[in-house]
Structure formats: C-alpha cells, structure tokens
Structure 1
Amino acid sequence: MKDELDLFMQEMADVKPISQEKSVAKVKDKPSLAQLARREAAEQELLDDPNNLSTEYVEPVDPYDVLAYKKDGVQEGVFKKLRLGQYQIETNLNLHHHSVKEARREIFNFVQDCYKRNIRTINLVHGIGKDSKPYPAILKSHINKWLQELDCVLAFHSAIKAHGGYGATYVLLKKSEEKKRENRERHARRLA
C-alpha cells in the first residue's frame, strides 16, 4: 500500500494546482436574430389576438361550488329556467384534459362562433377539477371569470346532474343582431 502511495506521489510531483479567480465575469450574449424574430412574432400575436379573456389572477372556486351569474336586465324567470336546465341545449363544448391556455382559446372561439350562428344555449363541460394543479378547480375558476368577461354572455349556471352537475355550466347567450332585427320586423308586422 505504501509503495502505491509513493508511486502516486512521484507521478503527481510536477502537477501544479489550477489558480482560480475569486469572481467569474459573466458574458452577456446578445439575442440572436432568430430569438429576436420569435420575440417580435409573439408580441405581434398578442397585439393581433382579439381574445380579451383575462390571463391575470383568478379567484379560486371550490370544485363543488355552484357557478351562477346573470347580467342586469335578465329576468328572474329566464335565469330560473336556465338554472333548472329547462332550455334546450343547442351545443356542447367539452374541455376535459385542456390546459388553461387551450381552454381560454377554445371558449373564446366557441362562444363567438355560437353567437354568430344564433345559438343561444350551450353547455360547457369542464369537470370539477378535484385533483387539478396548482390548485383544485383551476379550469372551473377560470371559466367562472371568463364567462363574466364575454359581452355576448347574458347568464350562466352550473348544470343539473343529468348534464354534468358541478362539472358543467349552462351558458345563455344574447340574441345576435340579425335575430334582434328579425324579431323587431315580426313584431312590427303584428302591430300593423
């Protein structure tokens, strides 16, 4: 054993320790042209995006909370009928397994498309999110906020058990301008 140590020390005799500076100077690279182009494209996409749904802080809701909202002017009878699931659901949007970012895009596009197509009652299926991360019901919490931000949404309420219960939300949309015009013309003909 002693012979091995002596042999090792002979071999290492001419080795000198590397001197180290106390501080290391960081070199700050300028962004590449590709990085600058990607950044500019991302900024332009934000400017061009008509989706005004909030990406800011959202007040969390419990997975078993009932979502309920109506704008001023919505009659109690209309809201009650929505709450009880008595309006015919014209279409559904299933948001299971969507990220918050994907859901934000899907909801905005879906609701706008429904409004343009004169669809009045929709069912958003989002799940209760009991095990979602970083906190429970993250998607449900965002949906609660986003639906209140959309101009064409008159009211919404958690669905009855047969349509998804706490994991789904009925949404009542305004009549499109075309439908309003048709109603005015129809009522004007009746009065004349």
Structure 2
Amino acid sequence: MFKSALTALALLASAPAFATGLEITVAGESNGVIKIDLLEDVAPGHVAQITKLANEGAYDGVVFHRVIDGFMAQTGDVQYGKTGGADFNMSSAGMGGSEYPDLKAEFSDENFDTGVVGMARSQNPDSANSQFFIMFAPAPHLNGQYTVVGRVTEGMDVVNAIKRGTGPNGAVIGAPDVMSSVKVTD
C-alpha cells in the first residue's frame, strides 16, 4: 500500500503543472481582452520568463510595435516599448528586452497556425527574451525555427483589430495599440 502511494505521488510530481494563461487587455484601435493558454509542457523556460514579467507588471503599457497584415502582431519590448517608461522610444521599440538573461530555444513540433503565440528573437536561436508575437494566419516557414509558447483561446477578434504597421518591416507609425494590462491566470 505504501509503495503504491509513493508511486502515485511520483506520477503526480512528474505530470505537467496546471495550465497557466495570460489575459491581455488591449487599448487603441483594438480594444478588448485576449486570453492565451501558455504551453508549459512545450516551452517551460519561456513560459516561466513570460509569467515572471507579467506578474511584475513589466508588460503593462507595452506597445504592439511591429504588426504585419496577414502575418503577425509583435509586442513585449519591456525596455523600449513601455509607454511612460524611462527608455520608451517608438523608433527603438523591438530592439530591447528585459533585465533577465536571454533564453535557450525550446523548439517543438507545434505549428505556427492562426492564434499561435511565439517568442521573437534575433538571428541567434537562443536570443529570445521578453518579446512575443501572435499569428494572424498560419506561417509554416516558422515551424521548428521559433519557440511556440501559447495559443489564443479567446479574443482573436481583438488580435485581428490591432493597428497594422505601415512602416518598414511592419513598424507601427503614429499611436500604436498597447497592452494596457497583462495578468497571469490559472
């Protein structure tokens, strides 16, 4: 009896943690709430960093700085993209990260379909930090090249209404849409 109880506890301990999500309130041309299911079992290191930053309030007030119609909306630059922040600079938004170290890639078999959330990075696969993007449409060329961290479960209409970039490489010109608050949910 004691051995089977220990075995059951060991199985529980090795099971994935309870699902975590994000609730992102967007303001600007798009207004509303996006709910995201984070995939801890697929990208545990990335999810841990995202939830840490969200719990600290680092994402509150961060702009969607790069938005390419038919592709994706990128946000999460807590260094240069946080409105009201000391280093806020719309022309530099997308070049910064957080005070935490960059993350080792956690590539998976998850596909970049509509509503999938991936981590932005430079050409170095191990350079993701705080920035992420939400897919407007499937992008199979990203599969296995970027870390998938979650999926939109509610609010794709809000995602689809985010102000599109009209500058080079999808840069948003003028007043960008903003993540006014980002909360971690169970």
Q: Same fold per TM (> 0.5)?
A: no
Q: TM-score, normalised by structure 1?
A: 0.25
Q: TM-score, normalised by structure 2?
A: 0.25
Of structures 1 and 2, the one with the larger relative CO (CA 8 A, separation 6+) is 2
Higher normalized helix content (fraction of residues)? 1
